[in-house]
Amino acid sequence: MDIFEVRDVTTGYDKKVVIENFNMTIPKGQITSIVGPNGCGKTTLLHTLTRVLKIKYGAVLMDGKDIFAMNTKNVAKRLSLLPQMSNAPDGLTVRELIGYGRHPHKKPFEGLNQWDYENIDWAVDVTGIKAFTDRPVSELSGGQKQRVWLAMALAQNTDIILLDEPTTYLDMKFQMEILNLLKSLNETADKTIVMVLHDINHASRFSDHMIALKEGGIRKLGKPETVMTESVLKEVFEVDAVISECPFTSRPIITSYQLKG
Amino acid sequence: MRYIMIFSISTIVLVSGILLSLYSGAADITAGDIRAALLNFDASDNVHVIINEIRLPRALAAAVVGAAFSVSGAVMQAMTRNPLAEPGLLGINSGALFFLTIAFSFFPHLPYLYLVLLSFAGVLFSALIVFAAVYFSKSRMTPLKLILAGVAVTLFFSSLSAALQVYFDVGQEIAFWSAGAIQNIDWHNLLIITPWFIIGMIMVMLISSNLTAISLNEETAISLGIHMTRTRIIALLAVVISAGLAVSAVGAVAFVGLITPHITRKIAGSDYKVILPLSGVLGAVLVVYSDLAARSLFAPVEIPVAVLIALIGVPFFLYLAGRVRHEI
């Protein structure tokens, strides 16, 4: 069962076409990672799925319905996005920012209710940011900010979560914590997770489904075992990689690599 | 609770400013006169006429245009995520000036109300050109494009105005008109302007929570289900109507749209449901007291209120520009 279907999509920024006649599906209830070199269209693809970027041709379907034709607030009840790092206005506190995640569930001028607070508290809890919920976001470190924005996306309480490089700015421990959190959300709450990941070992360890992009096109997709092969990595990333098995998860991981010979 | 207190205090300061404006001026007026003029108006009493027909509409006009500039500035800053944005960036000041110049060059001796309406036509004309330039540019609408189009239109109309003013030798008249426009406001004009101002305020209040989300960042706003195009159109229309009428009525009073929203955000945080009304009250306070100072400091000579505010505004702008961390 697919939750997203991208059908013959062409899009890009201004006159620059980034992806052309693109076709892809994203499975429901699974973790999908999009990997590829810089500038391959990963973020563009994620922005297309979240209707942040309008498409020139084609259609993006969510559960069979055109996402650009749907009421945008109804889309927001199903789908949240963690964008790449962004600044918050001066003085905005962590708790206030996370509260905005409840916006799609509110009528104009409706205040937060018990159910909203439960969602906010839960998001604060699972992202481990309880210690600084009353501080201004602008005063936090990069890693703390990243977790706060993630908490905001989680407070939106959607069944689909899209993340643009969620582990950036985080140290090794928090990278694992965030990825474990996403995995448990997927397993226990049946959330569909789609993320752009820079670290393909992380992608391999935590995804059910991988999509390798290059120059705006899919070069390989499928289970990590299908994508994490020497020939695919050589084609997509232009490196010679040594692949072995992760001792913790038995998934394929790169132990080292060099530039393509 | 804290906000209610801030609102109450600023409103008291505003009302005191308006009362002070009634009190101070060339004619000697006592508190008793003011009470009598407001409660039992006597048209044959000269003092009552001065209070009711000259000073009160002027003070109220200062409050209305101050609020209009300030709220419009706050809206522009939310939409562009740039603390230096203000309504003048839409080219509306130069459009108003251009139409005024045409009026003074070709149709001298028009009554005040006609000049106001002509200025407003100039506001609409310039804003329309800016929006059309952005709309037909084929690529994505970005705040930066809007600002660039506004700068281009401003330069174009300012140059045309300057040329006309030299050719028809009306520069001094226009300067004189702009400097003294706030004195010319009477009840009739005020009653024409105020309902539109209120409509503009209702429009921005309706989209206030959208503006808060947009002020975070665009991707987040869209993923929170904000209708970007609809919000922008409503916001820009409201700015053009309220700031445009304010410019038409009293001339360009720069920096109000810059100073008070910034102070408001310092006091009230980042929720535009609170920022918009509070920056309206504080903008009114700023212009009412500036107008009061402008006519009392060197009495009987009046300095233009725009000049006085610029004296505060320029250093403030430089201070803000030094602090901006975000890109446009």
Q: What is the pLDDT of residues A42-69, one digit of tens each?
A: 999 999 999 988 898 999 999 999 999 9
Q: What is the pLDDT of residues A187-241, one digit of tens each?
A: 998 999 999 999 999 999 999 999 999 998 999 999 999 999 999 999 999 999 9
| Count of the separate structural domains present in chain B | 2
Confidence of residue A260 (pLDDT cuts 50, 70, 90): confident
Shortest CB distance from B216 goes to which of A77, A80, A88? Answer: A88
Beta carbon pairs, A and B, within 8 Å:
86
Mean pLDDT to the nearest integer, A103-118? 88
Q: Nearest CA of chain B to the CA of A14: how many Å?
A: 5
In a domain, B182, yes or no: yes
- Look at B223 and A76 and tell me if their CB atoms are within 8 Å: yes
B204 interface with A at CB cutoff 8 Å = no
- Last residue in a domain, options B51, B67, B88: B51
Residue of chain B minimizing CA distance to A55: B140
Q: What is the pLDDT of residues A16-29, one digit of tens each?
A: 889 889 999 999 99
Q: Which residues pair with A9 in a beta bridge?
A: A22
User: Tokens 């506190």 — which residue?
Assistant: A93
Cα torsion through B291, B292, B296, B301, rounded to 10: 20
- Beta-carbon contacts of B284 under 8 Å, excluding residues fewer than 6 positions away, are B14, B62, B63, B64, B66, B67, B70
- Look at B269 and A96 and tell me if their CB atoms are within 8 Å: yes
Quick one: which of B82, B100, B79 has its CA closest to B175?
B100
Residue B178's pLDDT is 74
A92 φψ region: left (φ > 0), alpha (ψ -120 to 50), beta (else): beta
In a domain, B208, yes or no: yes
- Look at B222 and A72 and tell me if their CB atoms are within 8 Å: yes
- My answer on whether B146 and B233 are in the same domain is yes
In a domain, B29, yes or no: yes
Please tell me the distance from the alpha carbon of residue A106 to that of residue A128, in angstroms, as a whole number: 26
Question: Contact B278/B268 with Cβ under 8 angstroms?
Answer: yes
- Look at B265 and A89 and tell me if their CB atoms are within 8 Å: yes
Q: Domain extents for chain A? A: 2-259
Question: Contact A178/A172 with Cβ under 8 angstroms?
Answer: no
Please tell me the distance from the alpha carbon of residue B303 to that of residue B306, in angstroms, as a whole number: 9
Residue B188 has pLDDT above 60, yes or no: yes
- Look at A96 and B271 and tell me if their CB atoms are within 8 Å: yes
- Last residue in a domain, options B35, B51, B67: B51
Question: Contact B71/B276 with Cβ under 8 angstroms?
Answer: yes
Q: Nearest CA of chain B to the CA of A109: how many Å?
A: 8
Q: Nearest CA of chain A to the CA of B283: how many Å?
A: 21
Q: What is the CATH number assigned to the segment(s) A2-259? A: 3.40.50.300
Residue B39's pLDDT is 80
- My answer on whether B196 and B247 are in the same domain is yes
- My answer on whether B179 and B229 are in the same domain is yes
Q: Which residues pair with A6 in a beta bridge?
A: A24, A60
Contacts of B227 in chain A (CB under 8 A): 72-73
How many CB atoms are closer than 10 A to CB A215? Answer: 14
- My answer on whether B104 and B26 are in the same domain is no
Residue B327's pLDDT is 42
Residue B290's pLDDT is 92
Residue A124's pLDDT is 95
Q: What is the pLDDT of residues B238-271, one digit of tens each?
A: 999 999 888 888 888 888 998 899 899 888 888 8
Residue A90 has pLDDT above 70, yes or no: yes
Task: Residue B188: give its domain's CATH number.
Answer: 1.10.3470.10
Residue of chain A minimizing CA distance to B78: A89
Mean pLDDT to the nearest integer, B59-86? 91
Residue B326 has pLDDT above 70, yes or no: no
The better pLDDT of the pair B137, B231 is held by B231
B109 interface with A at CB cutoff 8 Å = no
Please tell me the distance from the alpha carbon of residue B198 to that of residue B39, in angstroms, as a whole number: 25
- My answer on whether B20 and B96 are in the same domain is no
User: Tokens 């609170």 — which residue?
Assistant: B274
- Look at B209 and A109 and tell me if their CB atoms are within 8 Å: yes
Q: Which of residues 74-103 of A touch B (CB under 8 A)?
A: 74-77, 79-81, 83, 86-93, 96-97, 100-101, 103
- Look at A52 and B269 and tell me if their CB atoms are within 8 Å: no
Contacts of B140 in chain A (CB under 8 A): 13-14, 54
In a domain, B187, yes or no: yes
Contacts of B217 in chain A (CB under 8 A): 83, 86-87
Contacts of A87 in chain B (CB under 8 A): 217, 325-326
Residue B328's pLDDT is 39
- My answer on whether B192 and B270 are in the same domain is yes
Q: Which of residues 103-132 of A touch B (CB under 8 A)?
A: 103-104, 106, 108-109
- C-alpha neighbours within 13 Å on the C-beta side of residue A169: 17
- Look at A92 and B225 and tell me if their CB atoms are within 8 Å: no
Highest mean pLDDT among B26-35, B47-56, B209-218 belongs to B209-218
- Look at B219 and A52 and tell me if their CB atoms are within 8 Å: yes
Residue B87 has pLDDT above 60, yes or no: yes
- My answer on whether B8 and B138 are in the same domain is no
**Which pair of structure tokens corresponds to residue A201?**
């070992």
- Last residue in a domain, options B10, B34, B51: B51
Shortest CB distance from A76 goes to which of B215, B225, B273? Answer: B225
In a domain, B85, yes or no: yes
Residue B325 has pLDDT above 60, yes or no: no
B137 interface with A at CB cutoff 8 Å = no
Q: What string of H, E and C letters represents the secondary structure of chain A?
A: CEEEEEEEEEEEECCEEEEEEEEEEEECCCEEEEECCCCCCHHHHHHHHCCCCCCCEEEEEECCEECCCCCHHHHHHHEEEECCCCCCCCCCEHHHHHHHCCHHHCCCCCCCCHHHHHHHHHHHHHCCCHHHCCCEHHHCCHHHHHHHHHHHHHHCCCCEEEEECCCCCCCHHHHHHHHHHHHHHHHHHCCEEEEECCCHHHHHHHCCEEEEEECCEEEEEECHHHHCCHHHHHHHHCEEEEEEECCCCCCEEEEEEEECC
In a domain, B261, yes or no: yes
Residue B46 has pLDDT above 70, yes or no: yes
Regarding an ipTM greater than 0.95, the answer is no
Q: What are the b/e assignments for A125-150, b being 16+ CB within 10 Å?
A: ebbebeebbeebbeebeebbbbbbbb
How many CB atoms are closer than 10 A to CB B61? Answer: 27
- My answer on whether B45 and B186 are in the same domain is no
In a domain, B328, yes or no: no
Confidence of residue B26 (pLDDT cuts 50, 70, 90): low
Question: Contact B234/B40 with Cβ under 8 angstroms?
Answer: no
- My answer on whether B78 and B158 are in the same domain is yes
Q: Which percentage of chain A shows pLDDT scores above 90? A: 72
Residue B141 has pLDDT above 90, yes or no: no
- My answer on whether B11 and B130 are in the same domain is no
| CA-to-CA dists, residue B82 to A149, B4, B73, angstroms | 21, 27, 10
Mean pLDDT of chain B: 86
Contacts of A157 in chain B (CB under 8 A): none
Segments forming the whole domain that contains residue B16? 1-51
Mean pLDDT to the nearest integer, A170-182? 90
Question: Contact A33/A207 with Cβ under 8 angstroms?
Answer: yes
Residue B140's pLDDT is 64
- Look at B265 and A90 and tell me if their CB atoms are within 8 Å: yes
- My answer on whether B158 and B257 are in the same domain is yes
